[in-house]
Amino acid sequence: MDSGIGLLAAAAVVRRLRPDADLVLSSDPGSMPWGPRTPEDVTARALAVAEAAAQHRPDALIVACNTASVRALSALRARLEPEVPVIGTVPAIKPAAAGGGPVAIWATPSTTGSPYQRGLIGEFAEGVSVTEVACPGLADAVEHGDQEAIDAAIAAAAERTPGDVRAVVLGCTHYELVAERIRTAVQQPGLPPLALHGSAGAVAAQALRRIGELPDPSAPAEGSLTVLLSGSEGGLSATALAYEEGRLLQEVSPAR
């Protein structure tokens, strides 16, 4: 679940790990972005999106949204667990800091500088140089496939990113859909390759662990795909299919 197409990254990893998994993608794109909304509003919208998914009796729910994980994870778990394990998304600050830094964390303006993010930095990046970089408009541009706006938002964030940064944490799931464009904008000539740290791989693996399943990329590609838009069944949008992750989901698992 997510406000919009930020869930594509985690869903694509699940599909690669288990081609036989039945996937339900639940979102409410008309209400995104969730970042500027009040915590109460985010929680109400996240619960509605999650409950729409729960009607399909999933084995687990991935909250593929940083904002929803920050604002609504406790409420989602209180509503759905223990029947449905709920797996939240945490910015990959710990693995990024393990490389010694310097590290930049790209996130939405509401997450940047938040007590939540500062707490993760204090817990996992002590002694490492960390720069928090707000990326206004980037998630919205990715959601709508606005290429000029994507380029402008990435360029603006890259200008605020120190040149000696060796790792960038993608602190919004939408950013993972344009990861290589971010790498190109931040990579400095003559320096070692920049490391990008998203959350999709870790959250997909955790979801499989929670339900006692192992990765099996060789499994038959028989998994189905159900797309829920504000609770009603639909299909992947043209914008979603403009991204590699969306095309993978459409090709491997035709929508029902």
End-to-end CA distance of the chain: 18
Q: Which residues contact 206 (CB under 8 A, 6 or more apart)?
A: 87
Q: Is 135 a catalytic residue?
A: no
Domain stop point among 182, 198, 214? 198
User: Does one domain contain both 117 and 176?
Assistant: yes
| Cα–Cα nearest to 86, from 215, 207, 225, 228 | 207
C-alpha span between 51 and 88 (Å, rounded): 16
DSSP strands (E only) in the chain: 23-27, 61-62, 86-87, 103-107, 130-134, 167-170, 195-197, 225-229, 232-234
pLDDT of residue 255: 45
Percent of the chain's residues with pLDDT above 90: 86
Place of tokens 């909304």: 37
User: Does one domain contain both 125 and 158?
Assistant: yes
Residue 181, classified by CB atoms within 10 Å of its CB into exposed (0-12), middle (13-18) or buried (19+), is middle
β-bridge mates for residue 229, sequence order:
27, 232
User: Does one domain contain both 105 and 173?
Assistant: yes
Question: Mind listing the pLDDT tens digit for each residue in 161-176?
Answer: 999 999 999 999 999 9
pLDDT of residue 101: 84
Question: Mind listing the pLDDT tens digit for each residue in 145-160?
Answer: 999 999 999 999 999 9
Q: Is 65 a catalytic residue?
A: yes
Which residues constitute the domain of residue 135?
Answer: 93-198
Q: Retrieve residue 169's tokens.
A: 């944490």
Amino acid at 191: L
* CA neighbours closer than 13 Å in the CB half-sphere of residue 189: 0
Question: Mind listing the pLDDT tens digit for each residue in 79-110?
Answer: 999 999 999 998 999 999 999 989 999 999 98
pTM reported for the whole predicted model: 0.93
- Residue of 7, 65, 107, 249 with catalytic role: 65
User: Does one domain contain both 179 and 113?
Assistant: yes
Domain stop point among 152, 182, 198? 198
* CATH code of the domain in which 139 resides: 3.40.50.1860
- Residue of 54, 172, 185, 196 with catalytic role: 172
pLDDT of residue 31: 86
pLDDT of residue 252: 65
pLDDT of residue 33: 83
Pick out the chain residues at pLDDT < 70.
252-256
Domain stop point among 167, 182, 198? 198
